[in-house]
Amino acid sequence: MRRWGIWAVALAVAGGTATAAELRIGVRTGGESMDPHASGVGSNIAAVKNVFESLVALDDNLQPSPGLATSWTLIEPTTWRVELRPDVVFHDGSSFDAADVVHSLDRIRTTAPVDGGLVPFLRRIASIEVVDALTVDIHTDGPTASLPQDLGRLLIVPSETPMDASPADFNSGRLAIGTGPFRLVSFEPRGDMVLEPFPDYWGTGSTWERVTFSEITNDSARVAALLSGRVDLINAVPASAVERLRGTSGLELFESSGIFNFFLFPDYREPSPTITDNAGQPLATNPFRDPRVRQALSLAVNREGLASRVLEGTATSANQFLTPGFLGFVDDLPPLAHDVDQARALLAEAGFPDGFRVDLHCTSDRLPGDGAVCTALGPMLARIGVTVTINAVPRAVYFPAQARGDFSLMMNGFSTPTGEGSYFLNTALHTRDPERGFGGFNHWHHSDLDLDELIRAASTELGLEERQALLEEATRQAMANMAVIPLVHLNVLWAGREEVLTFVPRVDEETLAINVQPR
């Protein structure tokens, strides 16, 4: 029987200086739920991964490595045999086995929101067969080369966890029972998460006695908390603070290439809700359906200016969807040009010589610089005759409205959390197809049947070189049509107190306590 409960510790009032036994981390966005299946949003996954683990671990560069599974072997074109790690226990002392794997994946399929970010990682799994207590066979509906990466996003809970457990059951700690290096002490959504090391962790554990994650959304306040010693490490260092922190004695910056690009996403529906002529009257046709208009928007964007001035050197110009080095990245794609005259000519050729008006919606508090980049796009697009009304709103407002279809032009960050290109292509560019699990994040309603065929072919190709070629071909085709418009590729920055800690950054931007070691 499992022993539900939360582990209490004596909480001392935090002073100005942390002891060697205590780690305090300030994050831009905290977790919203300790239910590891409630959301696939990166900030929530980063929070719960301190407590819960996946079968396949994705290392700091998103390469698959052993986690709760020690191996995964393709024994048939549609069957992966997964050997589970022995002698692993949950935080309540009960043993981890195959039943927990089956239950966890069933629970995600049954309860995870369709737009919550986890369902796409299950879309190819047809069934799971228990071979023995420490072996499962995962059967897919076709060859699925990305299954190891997909399993890296799916976290394991005990088999006794109710399918319909409430968020309160997890947030209170009653059901927040994982196998990870830390167990939960207390949790406040979008507030503080307090952890302590799990002494029976199967891997190399942590030497911190207590870890507290605090959400500090305001960039200036987060930097001030580090400078004052209230926290020891912060993530999402704003571009405006980089030089100051770099020049402050006793602080260290940790930098990595990231997995997020900023994009412009044009809506393809006919009609689209906020596009009008310059007099405010609805247009007869949606201009974004014409590739010449999408090319014009791309040509209007000064990417170097966004990267060097707006983001103050913490980003680079993007010319495609992926992080360099990821499977599917196309090495020989040229930089995307900035040419206002050519953009105006393309708009005129497409039948919009006087331009048009549209609302541009974006987040203001999700990724570093998102609101600033969005605002900077307004004058750039105005130079080619596209008048935009900027709506930079909190992510809590943005994402429900995006899912409802309220937007005609969106600027948002999109990541590649699996370290390979099929995730973006499958979820963001494939025609929406809920039955087959494609297009889950395609809120802009892009559809290209020829591209769909390439995407599906890449997702079933098991040969690495052949798969790379298909992913590259799909990227070339999508970029030729400017299906969506890449803007900049974000680097990732943390800053910490060098006398207190050392930190190993992750390309996926997750701030995990196990990656922080005391000096």
Reported as a single tens digit per residue, the pLDDT across 101-112 is 999 999 999 987
Q: Which residue ranges form the domains of the chain, and what is each CATH number?
A: 22-232+500-518 (3.40.190.10), 260-490 (3.10.105.10)
**Phi, psi angle pair for 403, to nearest 5°:** -65, -30
Please give the DSSP secondary-structure letter assigned to residue 439.
Answer: -
- Crossing angle of helices 291-300/340-349, nearest 10°? 160
Q: Which helix (H) or strand (E) holds 234?
A: strand 233-234
The upper half-sphere exposure of residue 371, i.e. CA atoms within 13 Å in the direction of its Cβ, equals 12
Q: For 220-250, how does the pLDDT look when each residue is reduced to its tens digit (9 = 90+)?
A: 999 999 999 999 999 999 999 999 999 999 9
**Phi, psi angle pair for 105, to nearest 5°:** -70, -35
Evaluate if residue 5 carries a pLDDT over 80: no
Distances (CA, A) of 201 to 68, 178, 196, 213, 291: 11, 10, 12, 20, 54
| 9 band by pLDDT with thresholds 50, 70 and 90 | very low
| 114 band by pLDDT with thresholds 50, 70 and 90 | low
* DSSP state letters, 301-366: --HHHIIIIISTTSEEE-SSSS-TTSBT--TTPPPPP--HHHHHHHHHHTT-TT-EEEEEEEESSS
| 359 band by pLDDT with thresholds 50, 70 and 90 | very high
Distance between CA atoms of residues 130 and 59, nearest Å? 27
Lowest-pLDDT range of 209-213, 315-319, 434-438, 453-457: 434-438
Single out the residue of 181, 233, 256, 167 nearest to residue 23, CA to CA.
233
| Residue 13, pLDDT score | 32
Distance between CA atoms of residues 211 and 24, nearest Å? 6
Distances (CA, A) of 506 to 58, 200, 413, 419, 460: 10, 25, 17, 12, 28
Single out the residue of 341, 278, 4, 370 nearest to residue 158, CA to CA.
4
Q: For 382-426, how does the pLDDT look when each residue is reduced to its tens digit (9 = 90+)?
A: 999 999 999 999 988 999 999 999 999 999 999 998 889 999 999
Evaluate if residue 16 carries a pLDDT over 90: no
| 15 band by pLDDT with thresholds 50, 70 and 90 | very low
Q: For 426-448, how does the pLDDT look when each residue is reduced to its tens digit (9 = 90+)?
A: 999 999 998 888 998 999 999 99
Planar angle of CA 107, 108, 114, nearest 5 degrees? 135
| Residue 116, pLDDT score | 62
| 11 band by pLDDT with thresholds 50, 70 and 90 | very low
Lowest-pLDDT range of 6-15, 322-331, 373-382: 6-15
- Scan for tokens 């290209």, then name that residue: 448
Q: Which two tokens stand for residue 35?
A: 């239910």
Evaluate if residue 3 carries a pLDDT over 50: no
| 255 band by pLDDT with thresholds 50, 70 and 90 | very high
Cβ-contact 479, 310 below 8 angstroms: no
Q: How many CB atoms lie within 10 A of CB 318?
A: 23
Distance between CA atoms of residues 505 and 137, nearest Å? 33
| Residue 325, pLDDT score | 87
Q: Which helix (H) or strand (E) holds 132?
A: strand 125-132
* DSSP state letters, 187-210: E-TTSEEEEEE-TT-SS-----SE
| Cα 159 versus chain centre, distance | 27
**Which amino acid belongs to residue 166?**
S
Evaluate if residue 2 carries a pLDDT over 70: no
* DSSP SS3 for 127: strand
Evaluate if residue 1 carries a pLDDT over 50: no
Evaluate if residue 4 carries a pLDDT over 80: no
| Residue 111, pLDDT score | 87
| Alpha helix segments (H runs only) across 74-145 | 98-111
Query: What share of the chain in percent tops pLDDT 90?
Result: 87
The upper half-sphere exposure of residue 260, i.e. CA atoms within 13 Å in the direction of its Cβ, equals 25
Cβ within 8 Å of residue 144, ≥6 positions away: 78, 80, 124, 150, 459, 460
| Residue 112, pLDDT score | 77
Evaluate if residue 8 carries a pLDDT over 70: no
Cis previous bond, 271, omega within 30: yes
**Phi, psi angle pair for 205, to nearest 5°:** -85, -170
